[in-house]
A and B are shown apart, each in its own frame.
Chain A
């Protein structure tokens, strides 16, 4: 067994000790994970953003248009001191403003219009029979939207529609819950398989 497998196995067991209760071994592994993850993110960001997107084109190929993002990035360091922290608002403003500007058409197209057009399907099939599933989708979308409509009190027909909407929402939450649990379970099975096969050699 190689050294890497021993370390990975011991750290996996350290994390699993949390199933008993919070303890120093788990806490040690948790702090190590946070530290290593921050270090990893820092290195990857440095390589993929700073070196590949900024320093190489700017200083290697003379692409002076990248001076602006460099200056904006350096302005972020204003955060290090309370007196200069206001400077960091400018790069944040660029991020937030450009993100908001790009989000307007992006939300209109793929988010809203695609979902609306996907919900509207023919209610009678080519064989002349009603398309019950399509009807359920339309009723579900409209009633769920009625549930989230807070400009009027949920009474009368709006009350009935919002009540039906909650039933559709419950089905959504139930199926999403089931999927989440099963995906986590499959990850756990993967970890258990690693422990039993590669680390402890109890199974083949």
Chain B
């Protein structure tokens, strides 16, 4: 029963949004704006609260089972401290909330992002072998792109930069366009399948 209701709601909102796109009436535009800027944001915010509660539950259960106690505790402390700081001192210019973001979250986030450079490079060292024509093309285009964006480029003529720009602007762009067309067609068909009720995996269990 609940699956049927959810499916009907999905179809109604899908058809409504589709039809509203073709109307230039101010009311139609206002409804589209309300759904995309308010409904989506508000429901997503409530979903985030559900996710945060789930995060607390999972970690508390793990602590009760005596699994990774110091790590789970520090994760919970970090999660709880941010709302506490925001409620206590606000989130403005020199607030402790912003201090934690700038001195704890941002440096660690960018360092994790930077770490990936080493793992991508080491994986490519193992994976990049010119065993076939496609593999050789991949290797050459990657090497040209890497060298053209490094100190090596400044020591040679501008050939590498010209070659990498050409590779990026024409053959690479052609493949990118084809992939984007494919993504567009795939998204279009998936959206239509969702609206007419063929795609039902998002409904989850059987109740």
Contact = CB atoms under 8 A, between A and B. Distances in A.
A137 interface: yes
Interface residues of A, number: 115
- Which among B10, B120, B121 has the greatest number of chain A C-beta atoms within 10 A? B10
Given A28-B70, A92-B6, A41 B48 contact: yes
B29 interface: no
- Which among A45, A72, A89, A100 has the greatest number of chain B C-beta atoms within 10 A? A100
A45 B145 CA distance: 39
Secondary structure class of chain A's binding surface, majority of residues? helix
Secondary structure class of chain B's binding surface, majority of residues? helix
A97 B35 CA distance: 11
Interface residues of B, number: 125
A178 B138 CA distance: 10
Given A8-B107, A101-B14, A137-B170, A35 B79 contact: yes
A54 B191 contact: no
A171 B137 contact: yes
A15 B75 CA distance: 15
A100 B176 CA distance: 24
Interface of B: 2-3, 5-7, 9-18, 21-22, 32, 34-53, 55, 68, 70-72, 74-83, 86, 91, 97, 99-105, 107-118, 120-121, 124, 133-135, 137-146, 149-150, 164, 166-185, 187-188, 190-192, 194-195, 202-204, 207
